[in-house]
Structure 1
Amino acid sequence: MRLSKLFKNAPTTNVTGLCFDSRKVQPGNVYFCLPGMTHDGHEFIKQAVEKGAICIVHSKELKPEEMPVGAIYIRVADTVDAMNQAARIFYSKPSDKMLMYGITGTNGKSTIANVIRNIRNKKEPTGYIGTIAIEYGNVRLQPDLTTPDALFLQEKLSEMVRHGMKACALEVSSHGLAQRRVDGINFDVAIFTNLTYDHLDYHGTMKSYFEAKSLLFSERVKPTGKSILNIDDACFEKLQRISQAPVITYGIEHECDYRAINVQILPKQSKFDLVYQGKTYPVVTNLVATYNVYNLLAAIAALHETDMDLDVILEACKNLPQVDGRLEQIDMGQPFHVIVDFAHTPDGMKKMFQFGRQIAQTHKLISVFGSAGKRDVAKRKVFGELADQYCDYIILTEDDPRDEDPAVIADQIEEGIESSNHVFIEDRYEAIRQAIESANPGDCVLLLGKGDEPYIYRENGRAPYKGDNVIAKECISKYCRHINEAVDDVNEDESFIEE
């Protein structure tokens, strides 16, 4: 592509690519000098030119000695905005060629995005970008971030278009919104799940955290699109006021456009009646837990509001593919429950403990978890308090410790534990093994925080990790052979109802 297509009055020099990391510049690239939290891209202009950058886009005034020969220099008011707009053009505006669903909120993004993709795929090819993977057609890639940087994002959306995708479900994180990674995308549908305590190490306050999330509805969703909002969340009215698109509501506790009533939560399925425009539709789904009823309502509303037949959607809800690491029930014939979940916020942990307690009933609830290093320290004691309230046996372990000592993190969690039996086992594999080995018939084991992530962050960066779901299966296979699966006092059809 010609540089003149990206910037007015620029030369017709050929551009091979766009880049904001001087270490990754290739010959013929445009290099954008982005401001950073620790470094400023303007500091690396020389390196970029040496690597072959043919154009430098900058916002600061440069001295002659700061402008190596061999490159074209374009000054703009905002390099982030310039990069977003250039990326849209360079990759042929891919998001304009697909139906774009954007999902934001503290919890539930991955589940909603995957439900949308799986059901929408029955109508037309649909892609997904989020915490779990980047998927389109037969392509599956491991992401580095929930919401990738703007250049990578536009490139992958462009590849989706080339692979025939007609829609895309994209998880939109608060970091992605605050750092303007999705500024080059206009969403057809914006979905809000909930807002609870998280990421205050980055945002500072809940107010700033909310303001970041709200950008999806005030700026990024098309005025002709739809904002799908959780009416039961405390942030609903604020989002309703600022949304530049018409608002569609979903919930359980209040009257709304898509409401679930008569909710029954069973160990392996959920049932409820969907009330929509005065009519009642019975819904049965293999998703479990009340919070997943909310997630399903959001997906149903988003799909139906984008011209999918409601009967087709509800039929597909009966047997949805398991979302890896999200309330994933590991069933290998063992006479106790093992559940893997990505929960890593106080609200997410509480909901998992409540669900686990309901599953275990009078049997033991065993949990394995930790807390990420170099992240919000205040929530660690809260994790301990929550676990102490619901669990019989707690195994504290590593969870992306980075350069912090896992034992110190465990000590901080332990401050909230007063009565529950607990132990610290640093190696996460060993912690899971002990939980599995200590489970008796009817017990429930919760493995929380990592889900299916195939890596763990330690002092020297990302290290390989099998994922809690894979390790759980290995441990059950290795250490449960001695258990008699025909246990007379355990009724495997035992269920509970939550209304």
Structure 2
Amino acid sequence: MKLAEFLPTDSNLEILDIMYDSRERREQSLFYCLSGLTHDGHQFAMQAVNNGAIAVVANKPLTDLPEHVVLVLVEDVEKVFYDSVAKFFNYPSRKLFVAGITGTNGKTSTAIMAHRMASKVTKSAYIGTLGVFFGEETYSYEYTTPDYVSINRYLHEMVKQGVKFCVLEASSQGLELNRLHGIDFNAAVFTNLTHEHLDFHGSMENYYLAKKKLFENLDAEDEAIINSDDAYGQRLVEELEIAPVTYSRINPEADYFLKQSETSVENSTFVLVHDDKEFNFQTDVRGEYNIDNLVDALIVVERFGMDLDKLSQTPLLIGNIEGRVDIIREQGFPTIVVDYAHTPDGFTKIFKFAQSICPKDGDIIAVFGAAGRRDTLKRPTLGSVANEFAHRIILTEEDQRDEKVSEINQAIRKGITDVPNVEVFNRYEAINQAIATALPHDIILILGKGREQFNNRGAHSSDYIGDYHAVLEIIDSIKEEENKDESEH
């Protein structure tokens, strides 16, 4: 696209791409000198030019630019950025159904469930914590919500490939940093809001206001899908200017009322009431809170055009979602659940699930830690929740960054009053100890990282096999030792 077609300039220079990060190599691209939280983009203009930028948008003259580089001077770089990037990519979010999912817990599960159900009837896509999926394409990304340029680039490619439905996780940081500004959402979902990310937002009020941003630009014909059982969800219902679509387990007057539900270690059933009609569902999704996530996903795909009646006529087989209630069951071993839960609310939900599937003579053994340099206030509460449900606790590392694991765990221990607990620094060894000392009728919860394959140890960060694969490897090792002992005798 020619520069003059999407920016206030007379230049007809042909631009092939947008460069958001000056460290990336993008030939014949345009670079915006944006100001971030700690840096001014004008400082990186020459780096961008060296990496392929042939035009730069700035709010002040840049005297060191080579002659062949076009400088577009504007008063407000950020405003021009949001107005022009979507135009460059031909407003892709207007050409498919886009649903945004926000909330402290449940974003990934809800989004993946909606994506998998929609993919049965159309070309569907997902953007979020687990990466970017559409068609045969899979991309990894550092953040839950990618930057604004990447989102538009992905959506543009989706449109080219015929994708009709895209579900996107909207993190509070992404919303606060305007990564979703200008994205045309057809539906937005609010799952819940509990204690998290206060290191970034400073207060629950600021955290809520960041989440609210997702709903503020919805049009009257768009869908604001809200869990009205959540206190902040109810507040959002009352503050929205458009009519919300509510979901509740408590209020039969909600637009979608979860009348009844039962869950086990293998499957679940539930009854959903909508428009005075009952829909009976069977699913492989496990856990009461995951039924909530599934209902949110069902509402999204119904608003997209799928039929609830048809969806309820056969079991909803969602399949395993990596790091979300990942259950490993091997003969002769305890039931092991790997889960990403890392907030007090997430802990409460996964512990209640463990309690519901644990035999009367079984123990719940919890393996977890807390992230370094992240929301330190929640640490004693994590310990308190574990203290309420667990019979034994193994504290370990979890992305400690430059903090000492022992100090992090000391803060967690303030909430542990009467449950036996030990500290095993190395996460792999902690999991190994849990499995080696558990009985077959016990439940082991391994919490905080899901299937993440890294351990952030600050200057000594390292790759990590991931909790799920660590469990499989340890079980295989124990089996080999047992077989070896049997063969020797």
- Alignment-derived partner of residue 57 in structure 1: 57
Aligned positions of 1:14-29 closer than 5 A: 14-24=14-24, 26-29=26-29
- Alignment-derived partner of residue 205 in structure 1: 203
The change in CA–CA distance for 1:30 and 1:361 in structure 2 (over 3 A counts) is: same
Kindly indicate whether residue 472 of structure 2 is the aligned counterpart of residue 477 of structure 1: no
Alpha-carbon distance in 2 for matches of 1:81, 1:34: 10
- Alignment-derived partner of residue 168 in structure 1: 166
Kindly indicate whether residue 183 of structure 2 is the aligned counterpart of residue 185 of structure 1: yes
Contact persistence 2:228–2:237 (CA under 8 A): no
TM-score (norm 1): 0.91
- Alignment-derived partner of residue 249 in structure 1: 246
Alpha-carbon distance in 2 for matches of 1:317, 1:84: 43
- Alignment-derived partner of residue 391 in structure 2: 392
Alpha-carbon distance in 1 for matches of 2:128, 2:27: 31
- Alignment-derived partner of residue 449 in structure 1: 448
RMSD: 2.1
Contact persistence 1:217–1:245 (CA under 8 A): no
Alpha-carbon distance in 1 for matches of 2:452, 2:304: 32
- What one-letter code is carried by the residue in structure 2 that aligns with 1:13? L
- Alignment-derived partner of residue 429 in structure 1: 428
Q: Deviations over 1:49-106 (max 9, x none)?
A: 44453222123x44x6466644322233432332233221222222222111110000
The change in CA–CA distance for 1:2 and 1:242 in structure 2 (over 3 A counts) is: farther
Alpha-carbon distance in 2 for matches of 1:312, 1:455: 41
- What one-letter code is carried by the residue in structure 2 that aligns with 1:348? G
Alpha-carbon distance in 2 for matches of 1:261, 1:223: 28
The change in CA–CA distance for 1:66 and 1:237 in structure 2 (over 3 A counts) is: farther
Contact persistence 2:95–2:159 (CA under 8 A): yes
- What one-letter code is carried by the residue in structure 2 that aligns with 1:10? D
The change in CA–CA distance for 1:265 and 1:135 in structure 2 (over 3 A counts) is: same
Which consecutive residues of structure 2, in runs of 5 or more, have no partner in the other structure? 484-489
- Alignment-derived partner of residue 492 in structure 1: none
The change in CA–CA distance for 1:333 and 1:80 in structure 2 (over 3 A counts) is: farther
- Alignment-derived partner of residue 100 in structure 1: 98
Count of residues in correspondence between the two structures:
481
Contact persistence 1:384–1:415 (CA under 8 A): yes
Contact persistence 1:217–1:242 (CA under 8 A): no
Alpha-carbon distance in 1 for matches of 2:456, 2:314: 37
Alpha-carbon distance in 1 for matches of 2:212, 2:301: 21
The change in CA–CA distance for 1:247 and 1:199 in structure 2 (over 3 A counts) is: same
- Alignment-derived partner of residue 403 in structure 2: 404
- Alignment-derived partner of residue 336 in structure 2: 338
Q: Deviations over 1:272-306 (max 9, x none)?
A: 21111112122222212221121111111111122
Alignment counterpart, residue 230 of structure 1, candidates 227, 231, 254: 227
The change in CA–CA distance for 1:245 and 1:462 in structure 2 (over 3 A counts) is: farther
The change in CA–CA distance for 1:111 and 1:215 in structure 2 (over 3 A counts) is: same
Which consecutive residues of structure 1, in runs of 5 or more, have no partner in the other structure? 485-499
Q: What secondary structure does 1:281 align onto?
A: strand
The change in CA–CA distance for 1:123 and 1:460 in structure 2 (over 3 A counts) is: same
Aligned positions of 1:297-446 closer than 5 A: 297-315=295-313, 317-362=315-360, 363-446=362-445
Contact persistence 1:397–1:410 (CA under 8 A): yes
The change in CA–CA distance for 1:334 and 1:322 in structure 2 (over 3 A counts) is: farther
Alpha-carbon distance in 2 for matches of 1:36, 1:286: 44
The change in CA–CA distance for 1:317 and 1:108 in structure 2 (over 3 A counts) is: farther
- Alignment-derived partner of residue 217 in structure 1: 215
The change in CA–CA distance for 1:174 and 1:316 in structure 2 (over 3 A counts) is: farther
- Alignment-derived partner of residue 495 in structure 1: none
Kindly indicate whether residue 14 of structure 2 is the aligned counterpart of residue 3 of structure 1: no
Alpha-carbon distance in 2 for matches of 1:201, 1:104: 18
The change in CA–CA distance for 1:149 and 1:334 in structure 2 (over 3 A counts) is: farther
1:343 offset after TM fit, Å?
Answer: 0.4
- What one-letter code is carried by the residue in structure 2 that aligns with 1:224? E
Alignment counterpart, residue 80 of structure 1, candidates 78, 81, 93: 78
Kindly indicate whether residue 123 of structure 2 is the aligned counterpart of residue 141 of structure 1: no
TM-score (norm 2): 0.93
- What one-letter code is carried by the residue in structure 2 that aligns with 1:395? I
1:453 offset after TM fit, Å?
Answer: 1.3
- Alignment-derived partner of residue 460 in structure 1: 459
Alpha-carbon distance in 2 for matches of 1:89, 1:70: 24
The change in CA–CA distance for 1:480 and 1:352 in structure 2 (over 3 A counts) is: farther
- Alignment-derived partner of residue 487 in structure 1: none
Query: How many percent identity over aligned positions?
Result: 36
Alpha-carbon distance in 2 for matches of 1:277, 1:22: 52
The change in CA–CA distance for 1:242 and 1:70 in structure 2 (over 3 A counts) is: farther
